């Protein structure tokens, strides 16, 4: 036997040279005869299913020329199939539909082109690889046919040459000072502020904009791409399957509708096919060992095996005599030289591993027969090259389960194994501890003359174990008995007509499968008349083989089959004119002594019909016996009893499943159409991975695919299998090459196979995991894809094409209307969702005052030395403080400044531009003393004045401020060159510096007389980026402070730590108002100080023994991330949080349970009680509706069905249920506050546990939005709404937030059952997609969980497309890994197809001072092409 090494990654040209050298002596003439070929897969030709006249063979010159031009994998080669693919693609050229191409940062393009490329061996390189013609069509031809939605990404653009500098997410200074300067729009005037800031200092510049259909200004560049995508998606595409599941409350129902195009088998039930009888030859040896002994003694000098080098020259000739003597010597050493005489390491029946390289068949053959003679069971495996080989761990599991403790290897292989520093072979991952034993004769002891191996007749003992890698990557050991081994050799000898002195040329792996059987166990003559393919599997050994024939005019059986029929497992003969056809060639007839039938692959093994594709099953002695150690799997594979339609068994003997798909044609010819491991079932149709690979390789493989390396597998997405194609691209491929090839592949697969590709990824050359023989390791590749570790350089998602089973949106049910029966507080049989806090009573002395300025004057007289405010520095030291008297006197001087220098009058508006501190408080009360209306404004950021100053200017203009009060430092900043270049200083109102206050106080303090008069304006930016000013009257301020005082039990003896921004909402009220009203001491901690000292807030709470503290989500997140690894150090510094009674997070959104739980868990060891952490809820119309306070039941948590929420319904489920969403109560309802849940459309009341808009009635509601220009107030009903039926007299304010009330089993302080309010999300942020309402936070939570490199996420809709922006923490190489993971997660959890995925640097998503994402501002930045994204993927 001649053997050619097969471990090198050989190119086609190199293979042709070696093959021609080897067979030159055996080929009679170069006139075009074909060569014998052994193959375990089908061959593809274009002929009918019968014995038709055979075409004349092509000339040798044409044969060589055609096959040396590419580097594709020859398993998938078919010229006619390539022509069909090119014909399909030619049809698409006529349809000129532009498709948006992904945007990629230039640095990413440069990195991915050559970094990961490993140059191939020069010995296997093809000379013609680099000299290919450049005949690709231009960009205008990269089109898609309208009927297919075939994505054709046209290339790649670069957003910029490099990324702008990105700040970290932990930059609390900018977080506090400048992040709220975001997209601004007055609710009535729609002022849009474009130049706003994200968490880093990059600015979204003012790009030239254009108007789209909905009037939103966008950049022409990005919006044009999105418009292309929208136009493409509107085009007619393949109609969706009539398979869908109804998104229902109780369960998801999957309704299977029969496909009208489905082909069904029409033939009769097949009969089992029996092979010829196995002939009995009298002189056949009784076992394989006996055969070796016979030939080793009778013909000791006859050549048994000749090993050739890579040039075709003989390396070594092994004779039968040498094989016998060496095998005997090795058998003796295995049994007697391993271990001791009393405790030998290896006994007969034990398993040993054979680890030999692919270039040493001689040593392997000696070791294999040595094991047979020693009666031990060889387990041939591949040589481990590194400790992290692909699939190596699974091989180790097999060795461990087999109890292998000894590994036989060659001397050269032993030297080449990886070694540790001490020279020992390390234990490979997952492998048992092995003794490595070298089998060369010089290392072995000579056996005694009287020792001979015990040679028995073939029996049912295990001869060897062959490993098999399954589709999921697991490795199984197939056991083959000695009788099966002998019978198999006899059957092969009879089938192939083997005789003595014939020769076989083996280029296969000699350690397993066909290479082992023909190369090691038998010998074969080379015939040059016909191709002789065979079908085999590890379980059934050889299933069928075509017999050599002398008459070359007799053609083999071929069939041109319909691809659509095959997808329904039906055999339908088609013609060559159709493009969607597959040509298969027979693999011969059944082996001698075997019985073969075809059964249905799934379920009960029912016999198939004659025109039906099924799995081949074999009943024969010459098959495997079991999967070693796996009795359950063995029963399902090796003990199968096929059943006829009548219920009877085909045979009383068990059959073995081969794992091969096919059918038996005319004349008993066996046709193989694929393998079970390569089967992909999509929407009930079956596709073969090899067929898809062949189609992909037919699309210009020489120009693009690196050595034909393509992996095709399926992943489960939304209850169905989706096809994923991953290929290695050549290192010299351009972006244009990539997207042209990708688009053409998608078109070809769609047209020929009638199936869409979910994801098509391209990776750099030599980066996919390889098998030991150089092929792609499919399961490892799939695992990398699922884990986000492929690092592709180009990726294309096509969910719109292949996901056709999205749930149908449920029609909105009619809500309760005025005609509903109302009995007391019941609506339609349920209690009306209405709740209220306790009553506001007047119990204290200060409750007699109607105005806050009067309260301050009263406190300055009664408790002048009582400290109201203490401001802490970044080091935790007290930087300044204010007593009641000090605050009163400073306020008087501020009032004098306003009246003297400002010349202001009663009711004028004053903009207070101060950093967080004491000056802001004094200025506020100075305005009240002067009868003016203060507006607190965040000062511009010194390092980013060009972006933040326009926001200040806009608030000053919108509020109609008569003057600006600030500090000397900010005055100087406003007059700086950069500020003057940004904003025209001449348009500013007068700016007063309060660092230089007049010595004398104001002669007369203003005494307000109307409690409903305006006290101050509360300007803030909503989460949608809109700037709104809310009017707060004196009456509302007094009621607000009294409500907070009662809820939190605030008295002069209390201390409260406040780490909030003092510019709007509840943060401003707690910072400036509550201490004056209640008399407690407020410890002020500016969030900006946490930038340099993240532990400042918690250390202050601990050292000052504070029981109540307030913070924002941004502060809590900063502490969680910044102090996560410092808890032990903080504990050593004495940090103790056990005294904290209430830690309240102030926000205008749904409580972030994950963050609050992480915070509680992290600081639990420092004494923080989880029940002390709670949330407050406020909005524009009412700055504080709920606040946990100090008394009352703990916050409750419920779990609701996320699917029901999409239909505006509440369905409570158990924790851990599928699609469950945890919602935490937003705090207790404040005293004096009434809440009702109303339908936002009909304005009718809703029942308990029904989702609707939260309406609030309270004395501290805002008076309305401020419109300084006198226009009609568009949102007047926000503050003065009435129910359409029921209690129509009460005036309510609409919060704009969806939520529900639920009566719990807990009781409040008054003994009544507690009503809990659960906030779901803002109405203006909710996205209406596919007829359902989605809240961005739910989708963002799913996306963040998909990959550890995703730091933050934001979503927003655009022209019915969902855009997902993710921030990447890590290498830019990981950017494209996120695209398929994000798309899959949103599909699985929310039934939405992501339209655009944007991967950016950290800090791009803008966040305001309360830690809330500014999604609409992010949308504007994306559409104006200002994000500098790493990658933008437009999903098709």
What would the pLDDT profile of 1200-1228 be if each residue is shown by its tens digit?
998 888 888 889 999 888 889 999 998 89
Residues present in the chain in total: 1436
Rounding to the nearest 10 degrees, give the CA dihedral for residues 1297, 1303, 1307, 1308. Answer: 30
Integer angstrom CA distances of residue 657 from 125, 636, 654, 661, 1094: 40, 8, 10, 10, 65
pLDDT at 1355: 94
pLDDT of 708 strictly over 50: yes
Q: What is the CA 1429 to chain-centroid distance, rounded?
A: 19
Q: How confident is the model at residue 482 (pLDDT cuts 50, 70, 90)?
A: very high
Q: 1325 or 61, which is more confident? A: 1325
d(CA 904, CA 933): 11
Ranges 246-260, 1055-1069, 1356-1370: which has the least confidence: 246-260
pLDDT at 248: 44
d(CA 144, CA 743): 8
As given in the structure block, the two tokens for residue 932 are: 């003016």
Q: How confident is the model at residue 559 (pLDDT cuts 50, 70, 90)?
A: confident
Q: How confident is the model at residue 738 (pLDDT cuts 50, 70, 90)?
A: confident
Ranges 430-439, 1047-1056, 1308-1317, 1363-1372: which has the least confidence: 1308-1317
What average pLDDT does range 517-530 have in this prediction? 48
Report which of 1178, 964, 961 is spatially closest to residue 1067, judged by C-alpha positions: 1178
- Under 8 Å CB-to-CB from 886, ≥6 apart: which residues? none
pLDDT at 387: 66
Q: How confident is the model at residue 235 (pLDDT cuts 50, 70, 90)?
A: low
CB 1162 within 8 A of CB 1213: no
Q: How confident is the model at residue 947 (pLDDT cuts 50, 70, 90)?
A: confident
Per the rule left: phi > 0, alpha: psi between -120 and 50, beta: everything else, 667 is left
Q: What angle do CA 918, 919, 922 make, to 5 degrees?
A: 90
Per residue in 299-313, is it b (16+ CB within 10 Å) or e — as a string?
eeeebbbbbbeeebe
pLDDT at 30: 40
Pairing of strands 626-627, 614-619: unpaired
Q: 351 or 279, which is more confident? A: 351
Q: How confident is the model at residue 550 (pLDDT cuts 50, 70, 90)?
A: low
CB 1056 within 8 A of CB 1067: no
Q: How confident is the model at residue 564 (pLDDT cuts 50, 70, 90)?
A: confident
d(CA 1293, CA 1263): 10
d(CA 479, CA 70): 39
Ranges 19-23, 440-444, 562-566, 696-700: which has the least confidence: 19-23
What average pLDDT does range 1386-1404 have in this prediction? 91
d(CA 1188, CA 1375): 42
What average pLDDT does range 745-773 have in this prediction? 89
Pairing of strands 1332-1334, 1327-1329: antiparallel
What average pLDDT does range 382-405 have in this prediction? 83
Ranges 367-371, 810-814, 827-831, 1286-1290: which has the least confidence: 810-814
User: What mean pLDDT is reported for the chain?
Assistant: 79
pLDDT at 1190: 74
What average pLDDT does range 1307-1328 have in this prediction? 84
pLDDT at 9: 46
pLDDT of 607 strictly over 90: yes
pLDDT of 1070 strictly over 50: yes
pLDDT of 597 strictly over 50: yes
Q: How confident is the model at residue 327 (pLDDT cuts 50, 70, 90)?
A: very high
What average pLDDT does range 35-62 have in this prediction? 36
- Under 8 Å CB-to-CB from 1425, ≥6 apart: which residues? 159, 207, 219, 221, 222
pLDDT at 1353: 94
Integer angstrom CA distances of residue 140 from 136, 700, 1384: 11, 18, 31
Q: What angle do CA 17, 23, 29 make, to 5 degrees?
A: 100
Q: Say which residue the tokens 């089967």 belong to.
A: 679
What is the helix (H) or strand (E) element at residue 18, kind and residue range?
helix 12-23
pLDDT of 722 strictly over 70: yes
Q: 283 or 96, which is more confident? A: 283
Ranges 451-455, 575-579, 819-823: which has the least confidence: 819-823
pLDDT at 254: 43
Q: Say which residue the tokens 């290479």 belong to.
A: 515
Ranges 57-66, 1009-1018, 1175-1184: which has the least confidence: 57-66
pLDDT at 149: 33
What average pLDDT does range 909-936 have in this prediction? 93
Q: 138 or 84, which is more confident? A: 84
What is the helix (H) or strand (E) element at residue 65, kind and residue range?
helix 60-67
- What three-state secondary structure class fits 320? helix
d(CA 221, CA 435): 65
Report which of 728, 998, 1013 is spatially closest to residue 853, judged by C-alpha positions: 1013
pLDDT of 99 strictly over 80: no
- Under 8 Å CB-to-CB from 524, ≥6 apart: which residues? 1, 496, 498, 502, 503, 504, 518
pLDDT of 1193 strictly over 80: no
What average pLDDT does range 330-351 have in this prediction? 88
pLDDT at 1383: 93
Q: How confident is the model at residue 1188 (pLDDT cuts 50, 70, 90)?
A: confident
pLDDT at 133: 38
DSSP per residue, 186-211? -TTT-------B-SSS-B-----EEE
pLDDT of 1335 strictly over 80: yes
pLDDT at 170: 40
- Helix/strand/coil percentages in the chain, nearest 5: 30, 25, 45
pLDDT of 822 strictly over 50: no
As given in the structure block, the two tokens for residue 272 are: 């089992």
Report the percentage of the chain scoring pLDDT > 90. 31
pLDDT at 54: 33
pLDDT at 919: 93
pLDDT of 824 strictly over 90: no
pLDDT of 388 strictly over 80: no
Q: What is the CA 1062 to chain-centroid distance, rounded?
A: 40
* 1025, HSE (Cβ side, Cα atoms, 13 Å): 24
Report which of 399, 401, 357, 400 is spatially closest to residue 378, judged by C-alpha positions: 399
Ranges 201-210, 333-342, 405-414: which has the least confidence: 201-210
Please name every residue paired with 662 in a beta bridge, in sequence order, or none if there are none.
614, 672
pLDDT at 1032: 92
d(CA 1053, CA 1209): 46
As given in the structure block, the two tokens for residue 1136 are: 């103790």
Ranges 398-407, 501-510, 993-1002: which has the least confidence: 501-510
pLDDT of 1360 strictly over 90: no
**Which tens digits make up the pLDDT trace of 161-186?**
333 333 343 433 333 333 344 333 33
- Under 8 Å CB-to-CB from 583, ≥6 apart: which residues? 44, 45, 46, 47, 78, 80, 81, 558, 559, 560, 561
pLDDT at 1: 53
d(CA 662, CA 128): 37
Report which of 683, 799, 806, 807 is spatially closest to residue 261, judged by C-alpha positions: 683
pLDDT at 724: 94
Q: 256 or 615, which is more confident? A: 615
DSSP per residue, 213-281? TTS-EEEHHHHHHHHHHHHHHHS--SPPPS-EEEE-SS-EEEE----TT-----SPBP-PEEPPPPP--
């Amino acid at each position: 036997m001649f053997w050619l090494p097969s471990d090198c990654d050989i190119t086609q040209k190199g293979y042709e040279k070696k093959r021609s050298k080897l067979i030159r002596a055996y080929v009679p003439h170069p006139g075009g005869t074909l060569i014998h070929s052994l193959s375990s897969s089908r061959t593809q030709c274009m002929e009918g299913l019968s014995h038709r006249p055979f075409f004349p063979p092509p000339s040798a010159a044409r044969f060589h020329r055609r096959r040396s031009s590419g580097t594709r994998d020859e398993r998938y080669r078919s010229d006619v199939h390539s022509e069909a693919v090119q014909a399909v693609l030619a049809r698409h050229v006529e349809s000129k539909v532009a498709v948006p191409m992904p945007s990629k940062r230039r640095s990413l393009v440069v990195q991915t082109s050559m970094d990961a490329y490993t140059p191939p061996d020069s010995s296997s390189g093809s000379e013609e690889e680099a000299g290919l013609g450049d005949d690709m069509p231009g960009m205008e031809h990269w089109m898609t046919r309208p009927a297919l939605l075939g994505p054709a990404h046209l290339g790649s653009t670069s957003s910029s040459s490099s990324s702008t500098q990105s700040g970290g997410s932990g930059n609390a200074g900018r977080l506090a000072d400048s992040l709220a300067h975001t997209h601004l729009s007055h609710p009535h005037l729609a002022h849009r502020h474009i130049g706003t800031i994200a968490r880093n200092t990059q600015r979204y510049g003012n790009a030239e904009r254009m108007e789209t259909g909905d009037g939103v200004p966008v950049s022409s560049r990005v919006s044009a791409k999105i418009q292309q995508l929208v136009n493409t998606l509107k085009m007619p595409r393949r109609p969706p399957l009539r398979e869908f599941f109804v998104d229902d409350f109780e369960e998801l129902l999957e309704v299977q509708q029969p496909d009208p195009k489905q082909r069904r088998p029409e033939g009769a039930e097949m009969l089992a096919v029996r092979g010829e009888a196995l002939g009995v030859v009298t002189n056949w040896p009784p076992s394989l060992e006996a055969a070796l002994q016979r030939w080793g003694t009778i013909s000791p000098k006859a050549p048994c095996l000749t090993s050739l080098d890579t040039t075709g020259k003989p390396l070594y000739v092994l004779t039968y005599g040498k094989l016998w003597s060496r095998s005997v010597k090795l058998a003796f050493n295995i049994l007697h030289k391993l271990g001791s005489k009393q405790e030998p390491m290896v006994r007969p029946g034990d398993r040993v591993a054979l680890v030999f390289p692919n270039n040493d068949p001689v040593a392997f053959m000696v070791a294999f027969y040595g094991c047979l003679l020693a009666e031990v069971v060889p387990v041939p495996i591949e040589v481990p090259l590194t400790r992290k080989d692909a699939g190596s761990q699974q091989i180790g599991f097999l060795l461990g389960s087999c109890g292998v403790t000894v590994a036989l290897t060659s001397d050269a292989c032993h030297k080449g194994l990886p070694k540790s520093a001490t020279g020992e072979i390390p234990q490979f991952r997952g492998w048992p501890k092995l003794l490595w034993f070298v089998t060369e004769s010089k290392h072995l002891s000579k056996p005694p003359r009287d020792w001979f191996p015990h040679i028995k007749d073939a029996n049912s003992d295990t001869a060897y174990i062959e490993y098999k890698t399954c589709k999921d990557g697991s490795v199984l050991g197939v056991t083959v008995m000695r009788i099966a081994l002998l019978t198999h050799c006899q059957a092969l000898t009879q089938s192939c007509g083997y005789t003595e002195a014939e020769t076989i040329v083996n280029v296969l792996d000699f350690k397993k499968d066909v290479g082992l059987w023909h190369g090691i166990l038998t010998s074969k003559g080379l015939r040059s008349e016909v191709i002789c393919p065979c079908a085999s599997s590890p379980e059934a050994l050889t299933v069928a083989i075509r017999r050599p024939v002398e008459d070359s005019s007799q053609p083999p059986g071929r069939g041109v089959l319909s691809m659509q029929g095959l997808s329904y497992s039906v055999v339908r003969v088609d013609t060559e004119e159709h493009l969607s056809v597959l040509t298969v060639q027979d693999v011969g007839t059944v082996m001698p002594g075997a019985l073969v039938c075809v059964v249905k692959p799934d379920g009960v093994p029912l016999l198939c019909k004659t025109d039906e594709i099924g799995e081949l099953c074999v009943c024969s002695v010459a098959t495997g016996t079991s999967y070693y150690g796996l009795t359950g799997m063995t029963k399902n594979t090796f003990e199968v009893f096929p059943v006829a339609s009548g219920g009877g068994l085909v045979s009383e003997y068990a059959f073995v499943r081969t794992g091969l798909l096919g059918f038996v044609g005319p004349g008993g010819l066996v046709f193989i159409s694929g393998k079970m491991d390569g089967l992909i079932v999509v929407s009930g149709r079956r596709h073969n991975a090899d067929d898809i690979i062949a189609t992909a390789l037919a699309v210009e493989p020489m120009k693009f695919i690196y050595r034909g390396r393509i992996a095709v597998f399926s992943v489960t997405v939304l209850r169905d299998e989706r096809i994923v194609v991953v290929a290695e691209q050549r290192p010299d491929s351009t972006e244009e090459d990539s997207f042209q090839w990708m688009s053409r592949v998608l078109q070809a697969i769609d047209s020929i196979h009638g199936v869409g590709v979910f994801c098509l990824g391209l990776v750099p050359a030599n980066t996919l995991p390889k098998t030991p023989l150089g092929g792609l390791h499919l399961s490892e590749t799939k695992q990398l894809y699922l884990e986000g570790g492929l690092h592709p350089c180009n990726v294309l998602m096509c969910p719109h094409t292949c996901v056709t089973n999205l749930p149908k949106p449920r029609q909105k049910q009619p809500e309760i209307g005025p005609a509903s029966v109302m009995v007391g507080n019941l609506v339609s049989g349920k209690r009306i969702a209405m709740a209220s806090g306790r009553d506001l009573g007047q119990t204290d002395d200060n409750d007699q005052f109607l105005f806050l300025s009067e309260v301050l004057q009263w406190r300055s007289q009664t408790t002048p030395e009582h400290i109201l405010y203490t401001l802490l520095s970044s080091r935790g030291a007290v930087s300044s403080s204010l007593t009641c008297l000090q605050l009163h006197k400073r306020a008087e001087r501020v009032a004098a400044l306003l009246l003297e220098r400002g010349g202001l009058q009663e009711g004028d508006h004053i903009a207070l531009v101060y950093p967080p501190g004491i000056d802001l408080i004094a200025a506020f009360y100075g305005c009240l003393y002067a009868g003016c209306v203060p507006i607190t404004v965040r000062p511009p950021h010194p390092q980013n004045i060009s972006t933040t100053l326009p926001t200040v200017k806009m608030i000053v203009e919108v509020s109609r401020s008569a003057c600006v009060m600030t500090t000397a430092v900010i005055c100087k900043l406003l007059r700086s060159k950069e500020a003057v270049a940004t904003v025209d200083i001449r348009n500013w109102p007068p700016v007063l510096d309060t660092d230089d206050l007049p010595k004398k106080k104001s002669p007369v303090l203003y005494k307000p007389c109307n409690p409903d008069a305006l006290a101050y304006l509360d300007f803030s930016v909503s989460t949608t980026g809109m700037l709104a000013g809310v009017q707060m009257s004196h009456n509302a301020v007094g009621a607000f402070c009294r409500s907070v005082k009662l809820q939190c039990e605030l008295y002069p003896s209390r201390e409260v730590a406040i780490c909030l921004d003092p510019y709007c909402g509840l943060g401003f009220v707690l910072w400036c108002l509550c201490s004056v009203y209640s008399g407690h001491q407020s410890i002020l901690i500016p969030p900006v100080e946490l930038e340099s000292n993240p532990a400042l807030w918690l250390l202050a709470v601990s050292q000052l023994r504070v029981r109540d503290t307030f913070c924002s989500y941004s502060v809590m997140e900063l502490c969680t991330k910044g102090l996560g690894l410092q808890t032990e150090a903080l504990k050593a510094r004495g940090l103790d949080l056990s005294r904290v009674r209430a830690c309240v997070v102030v926000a205008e959104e749904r409580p972030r349970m994950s963050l609050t739980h992480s915070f509680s868990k992290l600081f639990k060891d420092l004494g923080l009680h989880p029940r002390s952490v709670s949330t407050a809820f406020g909005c524009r119309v009412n700055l504080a509706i709920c606040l946990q306070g100090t008394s009352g039941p703990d916050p409750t948590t419920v779990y609701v069905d996320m699917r029901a929420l999409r239909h505006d319904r509440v369905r409570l489920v158990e924790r851990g249920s599928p699609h469950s969403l945890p919602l935490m109560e937003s705090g207790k309802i404040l005293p004096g506050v009434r809440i009702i849940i109303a339908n936002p459309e009909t304005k009718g009341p809703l029942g308990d546990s029904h989702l609707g808009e939260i309406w609030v009635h309270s004395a501290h509601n805002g008076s309305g939005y401020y419109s300084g220009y006198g226009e009609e107030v568009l949102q007047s009903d926000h503050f003065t709404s009435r129910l359409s039926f029921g209690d129509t007299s009460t005036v309510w304010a609409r919060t704009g937030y969806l939520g529900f009330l639920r009566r719990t089993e807990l009781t409040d302080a008054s003994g009544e059952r507690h009503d809990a309010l659960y906030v779901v999300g803002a109405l203006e942020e909710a996205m209406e997609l596919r007829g359902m309402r989605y809240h961005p936070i739910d989708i963002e939570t799913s996306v963040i969980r998909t990959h550890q490199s995703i730091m933050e996420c934001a979503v927003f809709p655009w022209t019915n497309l969902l855009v997902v922006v993710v921030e990447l923490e890590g290498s830019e190489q990981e950017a494209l890994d996120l695209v398929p993971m994000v798309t899959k997660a949103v599909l699985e959890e929310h039934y939405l197809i992501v339209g655009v995925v944007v991967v950016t640097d950290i800090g791009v998503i803008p966040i305001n001072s309360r830690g809330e994402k500014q999604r609409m501002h992010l949308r504007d930045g994306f559409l104006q092409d200002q994000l500098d994204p790493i990658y933008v993927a437009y999903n098709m």
